Structure 1
Amino acid sequence: MGWSEYTGGALWTYRKLPEPLLSRELNRLSAATTISGAHCVSLQPCPNPEAASQDRYAVEDWHIGSGNWRFAAIFDGHAGHEMVDHTVQNLPSRVKEALAASVGSGDSDIDVRVVSDCIKRAITAFDESVVADLLAIFPGGEEEFSKLSDGQISEVINSAEHSVKVLRCMRGTTALVTLVDPSNNNLWVASLGDCQAALGTRETSGGWKVELLSTNHNGEDPAEAERIRSEHPGEAECIMRDRVLGAIAITRALGDHLYKLPRIYTDRIFLNMKQRFKFSVASVDEILPRNITPPYLSNVADIQHVRLAAKDSRDKPEQILILCSDGLIDLYSARMSLQLSAQRWVKAATEGTSGEGNAAARLLRDALGGGDVTAVSKMLTVEMTSRWMDDTTIIVQYF
C-alpha cells in the first residue's frame, strides 16, 4: 500500500480481481445508485465494523409552491456516528421547512439573498437545537450540575433518555449542502468543514471550465486561522499545528461542542459519559486548558450562489456539479492541488466507461487507480483490520 516506511516493511494480502468482476465489486461496495437524477457512491472498503463509514448523504426533491427544488448534501462525520446520523435524518427537513416559510408560493421571482440567509439560519439553528437538548437535561445550567456529584451526573446522562443527546454534542460532522431552484437558474452551496463542491461548465471549445464552490474550512487555511486568532486574542494555543486547540483540523462543524461550550461542560458532563471521546492527535487533558473563551468552532455556513444557464436556453451549456467528502480529496492530494483535482474530477466523471453509466462511480474508479486493475484491486480487497483509506462519498448532478 506504499506504507512500508511507517510499518517496518509489513505486507498485506490482496486479491487481484479481473474485469468485469472488479467494476461490479466497486459498484457493490460503494452502493452505486442514482437518486432523482443524481449519481451517488459512498465507499469505506474496510470490513471491520469499528471502521464503518461515518459519511452520510441525502438527495431529495422538494415540491414547494408550484415548483420542484433539488436538494443534495454530504455529511462527513467524525469521532462517532451519533451526530452525523442525527444530521442526515433531520437537517434536510429543517432546511425544507425554513425554505417553504421564506419563499412562499414560489410563483414570484426568487430573492437570492433570502434563500441564502434561509439556508444559513437553518443550519445554525439545527446545531443550536442539538446543544439545547443537552442543556435541557439540567435546566438550572452550571449552577445545577455543579452541585451534583460525578456519580449523580453519570446516572442522569447515561440513561436511555439522555445518553444520545449528550453523545451528539460529543461527536461532530461537516456539512455540504446544495440547493437548486425550480427554474434551474440558481444554485446555492453551503459548507462547513472540508467537503468540496465543484461546478464544471462545457465551453464552446469542448473543454471544461471548473469552479470550486466551497471553502476549505480548516486550520491550514490562512483566512480561517486568522479568523479564529482574531476571535481569541492573546490565546496563542487557539491554533496549534494548524489545528483548533491543537486537536481538530476543521474550523467549522456541526456538533463538536467540546470546542463550543465552556470547559465545565466537558469536565462534569462529557467526561462522565460511559462512551468516551475519540481523538487521534490530542487527549482531553491537553485540550481542556486551552478552552478559555469558547466557542472555537463555528456553526455558521459559508454560502455561495451561482447563476446557472436557463434550462430552456437554446445555447445552454452542459453543466455538472460534483460534491465530495474529503476522502476523495485525499486520494488525489499527493498528485495535484485542489483546483487541479477538481478539473480531474470533471474529466473523470464525464469521460470513459468505468462505472456502467454512473458518473460518480467513474470518478471513484479514477481516484482509486483508474485502469490500473492491480491498484484498484488492492484498494478494495487488501486484508487489513484498520482502515487504509478515508470514507469517500461522491454525488454528481447534471444541469
Structure 2
Amino acid sequence: MSSFAHINSTSVAHSFLKKCTFSNSTSDGARNSQIQYAQFRGTPNEDRFAISEEWELGSHVWQFLAVFDGHGGPTNAEYLANNFPSHIRQSMERVFSETRTQQQQPDIVNNVFTEKAVSDFLKRQVREFDDGLGNAVKALCPNPAGNISDKEARELYRVHKEVITRARCGSTMASVLIDKSENRMWVCGVGDSSVVLSCKNSTDSKRKSVLLNTHHTGHTPQEYHRVTLEHPSHERGNIWLDEEERIFGTLSMTRSFGDFMYKLPPFFTAKLFCLVPSTAMKSVESVLKYNRTPPYVIADPFVRFVDLAGLVSKDENPMVVIYTDGLEALAYKLSTLLLKGTESSAPSPVDVVGAFLGQPLHPLTWAPSKDYTDALPGNNEAFALMYNLFTKAIPDKLGAHLMANGNDSDKRAEDLYIDDVTVLVFRPFPTSNV
C-alpha cells in the first residue's frame, strides 16, 4: 500500500516541521483562537501572510487578514505583507474620519461604514497601492523616450534595487477586512488565491463550503475575454500563445500586484526589469517580443461584502478559510484520487477543503517519536487542514521532497517541486481553548 508511512522516520517528520510555520494555541492563548495560521515553505518560498492587530474606528473594531502568493520572486509579496495592512488601517482612519468631519455630525462615523462605502474604499486602495509601485519606477526614468544607456540603467538598479524588484515581481492577494463589532466582512482579492466560507449542515453535520471570490486567471472565461477585448484583435495570437491561458505564454494571472513588465511599455523591461534575478527569467524575452499595448495585467480587485451576522449562526460552526493556490492544488489532486475508478464527478477543490476542515490530525500517519508529536499544534484547524491534505494527496512525493539533499539534478528537483502552502482560518464566533 502506497502511503507516507513506508518512508516514515523521525528525521523526515522533523524536516516537515522545520518547513512549517504555525500558530500554537498552547502558546498563543485563548485570545488568539479566533484566528489560526499555518504555512508550508516550498523551495523557494514566495508565500507571505499578514494578520493585523485589531484597531478601533468609529466604535467599531476592525482587523485585516491576507495571504500573498508571490511569483517571480518573493519581494513583492514580502512588501505587501509588511506594508499593505498598515496602509489599509491608516487610509481608513483618514478617509472615514474626513467623512465624519465633512458632515459635521459626531456620531455619523457609525453610519459611514456602509457596504458600498467600504467596498469602494478597498477598490481604490488596492489600485492606488499598486500604482505607487509602478510610479516609483517611472519616476526613475521620467523621459523613457529619451532612452538611457545600459551603464546608466545598471546604476539605477544598483541604487534603487528594491523599488525595481518589487515592481518586477508580482503577487496575488486574498484578504478579508472584518468589522468585528457587527460581524461583517469584506472579501478583497486579486489573482488566484482563495477565500472560502464553510459551515456545517444542520441535518448531517457535513460542511457546505462556498468560494467567496473570483479567480483572476486565463482559466476564468470572463477574465480571458476581458483581456482579449482590451487589445487589438490582431494581438490575440500573441497574448494567448498557442491557445494557452497564460499571458504571452508566461503569466497565468490577469490581475495582480506588481508584474509591471506586463503593465508598462517594454522600455522598462529592456532596461531595468531584465536586471532583476528572478525565478521567471524566461518571461523577459516574451514580454519584450509581444508587449505592444500595455497593460495586459491590472490590479482592479474583486470585492464582496458578506454580512456574517445575518448569514450564519454559531450553531453552524462557520469558518472563513483564506489560502494560496498551493492548498488548492493539493485539494484538486485529492479530489481526483477520491473518485478514481468511479463514474461520479470529482468534488471541487472547495468541497475537498470543506470536507477536511475541522478534522483532527491523523496521529498514526506520522508518529516517529514523542517529541515530534508533542510539537504538533493542538486545535489548529489551519495546520490540520494543510497537514491532512499533504499526507492524503501526495504522501510519497512529500516524503521524497523532504528527504532530498538538494544535490539532485535539475530534472529531479523539478519532479520533487512542491508549491508553498499558506492557510488562515478565521472563526466569526470565537471559541475558548480548554
TM-score (normalised: structure 2) = 0.78
| Bigger mean CA offset, 200-209 vs 381-390 | 381-390
**Amino acid in the other structure paired with 1:351:** Q
2-side partners of 1:115 and 1:300: how far apart? 15
1:251 alignment partner in structure 2: 254
Selected match of 1:54 from 46, 69, 86: 46
1-side partners of 2:73 and 2:65: how far apart? 22
Using the TM superposition, give the Cα deviation of residue 357 of structure 1 relative to its aligned residue in structure 2, in angstroms: 1.0
Matched, 1:347 2:355: yes
| Bigger mean CA offset, 69-78 vs 59-68 | 59-68
Say if 1:310 and 1:358 are closer, same or farther in 2 by CA, change over 3 A. same
| Bigger mean CA offset, 248-257 vs 209-218 | 209-218
SS in 1 for 2:335: coil
Is 2:59–2:110's contact at 8 Å kept on the other side of the alignment?
yes
SS in 1 for 2:117: helix
2-side partners of 1:263 and 1:377: how far apart? 43
Summarize deviations over 1:133-170 as a string: whole Å, max 9, x none: 112223x32144x1x321122222222xx111111111
2-side partners of 1:29 and 1:298: how far apart? 33
Say if 1:397 and 1:22 are closer, same or farther in 2 by CA, change over 3 A. farther
**Amino acid in the other structure paired with 1:58:** A
Summarize deviations over 1:338-384 as a string: whole Å, max 9, x none: 96322222232212245521101110111112499777644544445
SS in 2 for 1:249: coil
- Percent identical pairs in the alignment equals 24
2:207 alignment partner in structure 1: 208
Selected match of 2:36 from 39, 54, 73: 39
Matched, 1:398 2:420: no
Is 1:98–1:119's contact at 8 Å kept on the other side of the alignment?
no
Using the TM superposition, give the Cα deviation of residue 110 of structure 1 relative to its aligned residue in structure 2, in angstroms: 2.9
Matched, 1:279 2:275: no
1:224 alignment partner in structure 2: 223
Say if 1:346 and 1:102 are closer, same or farther in 2 by CA, change over 3 A. farther
Is 2:35–2:427's contact at 8 Å kept on the other side of the alignment?
yes
| Bigger mean CA offset, 52-61 vs 351-360 | 351-360
1:30 alignment partner in structure 2: 20
Structure 2 gap ranges (5+): 98-106, 337-345, 363-376, 408-412, 429-434
Using the TM superposition, give the Cα deviation of residue 179 of structure 1 relative to its aligned residue in structure 2, in angstroms: 1.1
Matched, 1:171 2:169: yes
2-side partners of 1:212 and 1:316: how far apart? 21
Using the TM superposition, give the Cα deviation of residue 183 of structure 1 relative to its aligned residue in structure 2, in angstroms: 2.7
Q: How does 1:108-127 map to 2 (within 5 A)?
A: 108=111, 110-127=113-130
- Greater helix fraction, Structure 1 or Structure 2: 2
TM-score (normalised: structure 1) = 0.84
2:309 alignment partner in structure 1: 309
Say if 1:141 and 1:373 are closer, same or farther in 2 by CA, change over 3 A. closer
Matched, 1:263 2:266: yes
Structure 1 gap ranges (5+): 3-13, 46-50
Say if 1:29 and 1:276 are closer, same or farther in 2 by CA, change over 3 A. closer
Summarize deviations over 1:222-265 as a string: whole Å, max 9, x none: 11110000101311212231101221011111111000001111
Summarize deviations over 1:38-90 as a string: whole Å, max 9, x none: 11111125xxxxx3311000012222232211211000011112211111111
Say if 1:316 and 1:15 are closer, same or farther in 2 by CA, change over 3 A. closer
Is 1:187–1:307's contact at 8 Å kept on the other side of the alignment?
yes
Q: How does 1:41-120 map to 2 (within 5 A)?
A: 41-44=38-41, 51-60=43-52, 61-104=54-97, 106-108=109-111, 110-120=113-123
Q: How does 1:355-374 map to 2 (within 5 A)?
A: 355-370=377-392
1-side partners of 2:156 and 2:387: how far apart? 48
Using the TM superposition, give the Cα deviation of residue 29 of structure 1 relative to its aligned residue in structure 2, in angstroms: 2.8
Matched length: 371
**Amino acid in the other structure paired with 2:23:** T
2-side partners of 1:171 and 1:328: how far apart? 22
Is 1:103–1:115's contact at 8 Å kept on the other side of the alignment?
no
Is 1:174–1:253's contact at 8 Å kept on the other side of the alignment?
yes
2-side partners of 1:359 and 1:77: how far apart? 24
Is 1:196–1:214's contact at 8 Å kept on the other side of the alignment?
yes
2-side partners of 1:191 and 1:215: how far apart? 8
1-side partners of 2:222 and 2:264: how far apart? 23
**Amino acid in the other structure paired with 1:361:** F
| Bigger mean CA offset, 233-242 vs 126-135 | 233-242
**Amino acid in the other structure paired with 2:299:** N
**Amino acid in the other structure paired with 2:58:** G
2-side partners of 1:342 and 1:134: how far apart? 38
1:238 alignment partner in structure 2: 239
1-side partners of 2:424 and 2:84: how far apart? 18
Is 1:57–1:74's contact at 8 Å kept on the other side of the alignment?
yes
C-alpha root-mean-square deviation of aligned residues, in Å? Answer: 2.8
1-side partners of 2:111 and 2:183: how far apart? 14
1:9 alignment partner in structure 2: none
